[in-house]
Amino acid sequence: MASDFWSQPTKAGELLQQIEATEQELKSYNQLLQRLDDLTDLISQENSISEDINQLVQAEYHQIAREIDQLEISRFFTQPHDRLPAILSIHAGTGGVEAQDWAAMLERMYLRYSLRQNWTSQIIEEQRGNEAGIKSATLRFVGQWAYGYLKGENGTHRLLRNSPFNAQHLRQTSFAMVEVYPELPEAEAPAINTNDLRIDVFHSSGPGGQGVNTTDSAVRITHLPTGLVVTCQSERSQHQNKALALAVLRSKLANKEAEELEKKRQVLKGGQVKADWGLQIRSYFLYGKRLIKDHRTNLTTTDIDAVLDGHLDDFIRAYLLWELERNK
């Protein structure tokens, strides 16, 4: 280790995190090899495998296959931000309670996916609807390759179903926008002038216990030059909420700068820039044949309940392959 390694603690910390992640991947790989060897030995030693043993072998085999698939996906993560935590925002589109209910369904889907990935999830801010659902929510996911896995969820999600909110159960189309940003380290994020910020504090209205709800712990930060607003009320401490809100704001500012550069590039190239709400990435049909279709990869599944319960692996893998081919 170089003598000046700790002279830049931020970079040193990031490097140590990368080393830890790589060591964890190698550990997982070696553990899978050992489990495969053990499974092979078990099968070879048994002249006649009982039904109970056979079921155990089958279950272990399928579990190993799933874990190998997860390790294989990591080779698709080639961008420097793929390892970072992810900030995911959900915004209900027009349509009142229908769209707000749809936004809440998406929020649950991503929280369930995070649970299946063994990530840490956090609801930074949530604005509930008047009747049902949510108007918006901002979630934070911390775990291995969190941004790499979730970045493909960015875009408009369309729901088509027979409405549970009217007596006639009329067919309704609802939209929700999902935005995904990497949580950038402060050293990589755009510099923020404190004079450009308006900071308001208020009582938290969300879940979190008595200590959260009875003190001015919630923080709202407005970036005056861009009009971007970030609210955080998930922590008990006003200081913690401010730090987290600033982290989200830095990520949003970086994303805004990247979008503006891309628009300029498209103009120079003569291309046409799509509006965000026009970027419809996936449709969820909850009537008739009942299916979900991704409009980029053309992947379709009829296992709607599983997807809405957080089984997103097939869609995420298909997107990563699609992105890899597109960038060749």
Q: List the end-to-end C-alpha distance of the chain, in Å, as a whole number.
A: 36
Residue 272 pLDDT: 44
Give the integer Cα–Cα distance in Å for 70 and 65.
9
For position 62, what pLDDT does the model report? 82
What is the total residue count of the chain?
A: 328
Residue 213: count of CB within 10 angstroms of its CB: 16
Q: Give the chain's residues under pLDDT 70.
A: 1-14, 17-18, 21, 45-49, 204-215, 265-279, 328
Quote the tokens at residue 169. Answer: 């159960």
pLDDT score for 30: 85
pTM of the predicted protein model: 0.77
The reported pLDDT for the residue numbered 234 is 80
Check residue 309 and report its DSSP letter: T
What is the predicted pLDDT for the residue at 8? Answer: 63
Supply the pLDDT for residue 39: 82
Task: Name every residue whose Cβ is closer than 8 Å to that of residue 264 and which is 6 or more positions away in sequence.
Answer: none
SS3 state at 91:
strand
Angle at CA of residue 264, ends 260 and 267, nearest 5°:
140
| Whole-angstrom distance, CA of residue 325 vs CA of residue 319 | 10
Percent of the chain with pLDDT over 90: 41
Strands 86-92, 171-182: pairing is antiparallel
248 Cβ partners below 8 Å, 6+ apart? 87, 124, 138, 140, 181, 183, 230, 232
Nearest Cα neighbor of 96 from 125, 129, 138 is 129
